[in-house]
Amino acid sequence: MLPQVVTVGPLAAASANNILTSITPTSGTALTLNGSTVTAGVATLDTPRKVLLTFGVEAANRTLVITGTNATGNPIQETVTVASGAGGTVATTQDFLTVKSALPLGGGWTAAITIGTNGVASSPWKFITYELSPTNMSIGVVVSGTVNFTIEYTYDNPNNNQVTPTGGGVNGSYPAPVTSWQHTVLKNLAVTTDGVINDPIYAWRLTLNSQTNPGFATATGIQAGIAGP
């Protein structure tokens, strides 16, 4: 298997409202995106990254359905939940390069929200050949500048499509968010290092937990192939 190489960073500064400035949503009515990254109704971010929702106190749980595209330009969608009783923030698990729609649901919203970015971004998922036994995969991460990173993995297929997207669209056009785990060694680190994955997984990715410009990290994953005679 050829080496898989991904780089994440540098990132533009996080902004709580660069996709949507403060507005009190109306349930069932798509929000008019108006932040500094928005042109012609579409927010285009500096790099695929997590989208951050900042919300106030709501009497009941609300949801916000975010629709956009990923690093390869394919459509993605994710529903983030606003818990009742206290204000706070919640971020997507998927990385959006563009945000085209934000649809509030869940009844009568009473507090204003903003939509923007935090300082977290992940590479696209990199697939391995999980049928090989043993898996025998090494991952090395080289950091430049000030960063904090984690290698994550999943047992789910990141290309597994949802059956019914929310808010319209073609059925099956949005991949479902996957459940991810942090590598037991390669997590919350700030220095160049390496580790191994020796059990079957479906895919892995590099996540920047934080970063100071112009810092970035590059991960290289190499999986052993079939042994020769």
Backbone CA torsion sign across 152, 155, 159, 163 = negative
What is the reported pLDDT for 41?
A: 96
CA 15 from centroid of its chain's CA atoms: 16
Backbone CA torsion sign across 29, 24, 16, 148 = negative
What is the reported pLDDT for 176?
A: 82
Does CATH number 2.60.120 belong to domain 4-8+122-223? yes
What is the reported pLDDT for 134?
A: 82
What is the reported pLDDT for 175?
A: 83
Q: Which residues pair with 43 in a beta bridge?
A: 38, 99
What is the reported pLDDT for 149?
A: 98
Backbone CA torsion sign across 22, 40, 50, 79 = positive
**Burial of 169 per CB tally in 10 Å (0-12, 13-18, 19+):** middle
- Domain positions in the chain are 4-8+122-223, 15-118
What is the reported pLDDT for 137?
A: 94
Which stretches of the chain drop beneath a pLDDT of 50? Answer: 228-229
Q: How many helices (H) and strands (E) does the chain have?
A: 0, 16
Q: pLDDT tens digit string along 93-103?
A: 999 999 999 99
What is the reported pLDDT for 229?
A: 41
Distance CA 132, CA 48 (A): 31
pTM of the prediction? Answer: 0.91
What is the reported pLDDT for 228?
A: 45
